[in-house]
Amino acid sequence: MKYTDIADKSLKELNDMLKEKKVLLFELKTKFKTMQLTNTSELRAAKKDIARIQTAITAASAK
């Protein structure tokens, strides 16, 4: 996901996306701790996606 993909979304859509990504991150962390996660780079990607969404929320609320 790129920032340009989410920059034009509404605040409600961004908050919904943020909730989904946080649930995904929780699931990935759980899988990692139980040794079921094979691709650990998914954790890093999920964290970066959350940061991008939070940046877009901050920019949208500043408008």
What is the chain's mean pLDDT, rounded?
A: 95
| Residues 40-62: tens digit of each pLDDT | 999 999 999 999 999 999 999 88
**What mean pLDDT is predicted for residues 15-35?**
97
Residue 63 has pLDDT above 80, yes or no: no
The pLDDT of residue 29:
97
**DSSP state, 38?**
S
**What mean pLDDT is predicted for residues 24-30?**
97
What whole-number percentage of the chain has pLDDT above 70?
100
Identify the structural domains of the chain with CATH numbers, from first to last: 3-62 (1.10.287)
List Cα–Cα distances, 60 to 4, 8, 10, 38, 50, in angstroms.
13, 9, 8, 36, 15
